Chain A
Amino acid sequence: MIEVCSVSKYFGEKQILHNINTQFEEGKVNLIIGRSGSGKTVLMKCLVGLHSPEEGKVLYSGREFHNMPDIDKQKLRTEMGMVFQGAALFDSMTIGENVAFPLDMFTQMSDGEKNDRVDFCLECVDLQNVNSLYPAELSGGMKKRAAIARALACNPKYLFFDEPNSGLDPKTSLLIDELITKITHDFNTTTIVNTHDMNSIITIGETISFIYQGFLEWTGNSHTILSSDNHNLNDFIFAQPLVQRIKK
């Protein structure tokens, strides 16, 4: 479980996050939703320590993350997997090497075991015959999926996805959503997903935190979200004509 206690984040004078309080549960898919520019990515980066919040704290199973000694931080991080909005694959390595990289660094696996693990992870995201290609040779969606495979490699306990299905077609997007749910339930990971994809919100959101201009406006789940009376949230989810029609 990850608890976020009164987190505020500034960039210079500008306050991006305002006193965020929420928690992300183990074995569940936890969504952070909100419009573009609302602060989802910044919040996620505060969670994993890429940004340090000026106020408040982040607790991993009760342990405060930002005050940990570097050694403990690094250790905890070997239990994290993160998929960045732009995939962030290592350009200089092939896809196979990218996925094997965390295994190289942190396990004593033999080459055979590593290859099996890499193939398994790539299969999970429905990528075949790409092991020897470089990231530049892949499409945007394939890069995203390769990045997911890399995040899965070390069996993480905490998984972070920053817009995993932006830039994917509806079918692949569905596949990724299913995959995220499956991994979370099979391995009991604490999964946190940034998204503004309505489909994901309705289908995989076991807990949902809605961020509006840096404020946490609403928390709930995929069942309660359609009947909420928060004005900003309704604006957000019923923005698309299709959803409006469903509501009627």
Chain B
Amino acid sequence: MLRKGFITIGDYFIFLNKVFSKPAKWSIFLKKWVFEMDAMGIGSMLIVSIVSVAMGSVITLQTALQIESSWIPSWTVGFTARTSIVMELCPTIISLLLVGNIGSRITAEIGSMRVTEQIDALEIMGINPASHLVLPKVFASIIVNPILCVFSIAFALLGGYLTVWITDCVSTYNYIDGLTYCFRVYDVIYAMTKTTIFAFVMSTVASFYGYKIDGGALELGKASTQGIIVSSFIILILNVVITNIML
């Protein structure tokens, strides 16, 4: 079991080495890159915005309920909600959401190419299939995921604002005041760094699990699930590590 784990880790790094080699033709790489960004970005927009609005609203409500005391200033609600949204919820939760959304799509796509020998066909043509298929996806996700994260933050804050406005737990003026109170650019840099690293993990692990499928279509579903579990796990661990390093 342990031995198998180490072999898989080794295979993953060998795979990465194959992925990160110069594309055979830049024009084709660019075309695929743009295509992937489009597919990933547009495809995930709706789910990301819905989840973010809901998340922002719940966080704001929760915070407002916890801090119902007259000697804590009411801008604290906005401030606390903002901090948790920007620093933790959006980077991590949205990354995990995208693992299920984009990651599983990547595994299924590459895995089905493997099962139907399309990857072998690429190899025979003298193309490095790992680089040709995976590199555009990796580069697309490390651009798209942070953008989606920014959108998610905006939608979450909006969700919080709407909640405050509807329930009137604190005044909207105080909420906005809290949102803008003591704003640090470093928080955003921290969030973007996390999202970018998570995006890299998501796209490479998902591709790896699709690429190494050996067998029929049955393996495809298994690989998809495995890819999601493993990348989520790595993301959660890295989250702790990065938080320790950066904060």
Is B one of A's binding partners? yes
A50 CA to B126 CA, complexed, in Å: 12
- B18 to chain A minimum Cβ distance, whole angstroms, is 9
- Which residues of B lie under 8 Å from residue A84 when comparing CB positions? 117, 120-121
**Complex-state Cα separation, A90 to B217, whole angstroms:** 17
Is B126's CB under 8 angstroms from A78's CB?
A: yes
When A74-B128, A104-B25, A105-B24 are in contact, do A50 and B116 touch as well, CB less than 8 Å? Answer: no
**A20 contacts the other chain (CB 8 A):** no
The reply to whether A77 and B118 contact each other, CB–CB distance below 8 Å, is no
Q: Quick one: CB contact mask for A51-80 with B, threshold 8 Å, 1 for yes?
A: 000000000000000000000011111101
Mark A125-161 against chain B: 1 for CB-CB distance below 8 A, else 0.
Answer: 0000000000000000000000000000000000010
Could you give, for residues 85-127 of chain A, a 1 whenever the CB lies within 8 Å of some chain B CB and a 0 otherwise?
Answer: 1101111000000000110111000000000000000000000
Nearest residue (CB) in B for A154 is B125
Contact between B125 and A88, CB atoms less than 8 A apart: no
Residue of A nearest to B109 (CB): A92
The contact of B117 among A73, A86, A101, A106, by CB within 8 Å, is A86
Q: Which of B24, B113, B116, B124 contacts A86 (CB under 8 A)?
A: B116
Report Cα–Cα, A78/B28, bound state, in Å: 17
Contact in complex: A48, B124 (CB < 8 Å)? yes
CB distance from B4 to the nearest CB of A (A): 15
* A104-B25, A105-B24, A105-B28 given; A78·B116 CB < 8 A: no
Which residues of B from 197 to 216 have beta carbons under 8 Å from A? none
Of all A-B residue pairs in the complex, the 8 with the closest CB atoms, nearest first, are A77-B126, A88-B117, A78-B126, A88-B121, A74-B126, A82-B124, A84-B117, A88-B118
| A–B Cβ pairs within 8 angstroms, 15 of them | A49-B123, A73-B126, A74-B126, A77-B124, A88-B120, A88-B121, A89-B118, A91-B116, A101-B125, A102-B125, A104-B25, A105-B24, A105-B125, A105-B127, A106-B24
